Amino acid sequence: MNPAGLFVSATDTGVGKTFVGCALLRAWCAAGLRPVPCKPAESGCETGPDGLYPADGVALTAAAGLPPAAVARVTPWRFPDALAPDQAARNIGHPLYLAELVDACEAQRKGAQGPLLVEGAGGFYSPLAEEALNADLAVALGLPVLLVAEDRLGTLNTCLLTLEALERRGLALAGIVLNRRQPDTDPQLDNASALQRRTHAPVIELAEGITSDRAGQRVSTSIASGLIPPSAGSASGR
């Protein structure tokens, strides 16, 4: 297990991976670190003056304090269709392979002077490349996983299924981020306590409307700046 970074994944798409990733990158920079981000494949990119515009990749690049041109290395694979990257790649006649994504991430890690933060696409078991899932990229890179989930009813099921998947693949869980996105969420809902009883990893709650700076402080403090993953062992406390 390589402690020098994190793989940011999620229980589903659209739950706040990029928000959490950017917040953590800014916190690392504020702590004097020099993090390097990589979201090797991004789909649903709109066309801009310089071609396909990877909004998530651009946000991660800026959060790490890198020049705009660095996005070419942060997100080298970009696709217009808002589909899983493997489908989006096939739609333009260019099948995407796991080895290409691993190479892009390793190129960022090589010579880096700070932690590597890799963001997947979609959920942990979402297809990412030909015959490969986000989970396969996490395994290939050997990074502990920071799991992001929306803090809502039904999250316990998807979180526990993902924890089981992490355990089966021998991946360390750096923490679970419960990102509350809806202001009308039942205030009695307490996913954090239920999850904390079932895992030894930190469970971090982000309130609806929390600022990026505050979110980054909470996440980085809870996971020891992402540089010291939990001891080897099962991801869950079952």
Q: φ and ψ at 58, to 5 degrees?
A: -65, -45
Tokens matching residue 160: 């526990």
Judge whether 39 counts as a catalytic residue: yes
Rounded to the nearest 10°, the torsion over CA 168, 227, 70, 74 is 10
Catalytic, out of 17, 26, 39, 78: 39
Reference 144, options 11, 44, 1, 10; nearest CA is: 1
The enclosing H or E element of 171 equals: none
CA–CA gap between residue 12 and residue 34 (Å, rounded): 29
CA–CA gap between residue 233 and residue 181 (Å, rounded): 31
| CB-count exposure of residue 93 (10 Å: 0-12, 13-18, 19+) | exposed
CA–CA gap between residue 75 and residue 82 (Å, rounded): 16
SS3 157: helix
Residue numbers annotated as active site: 39
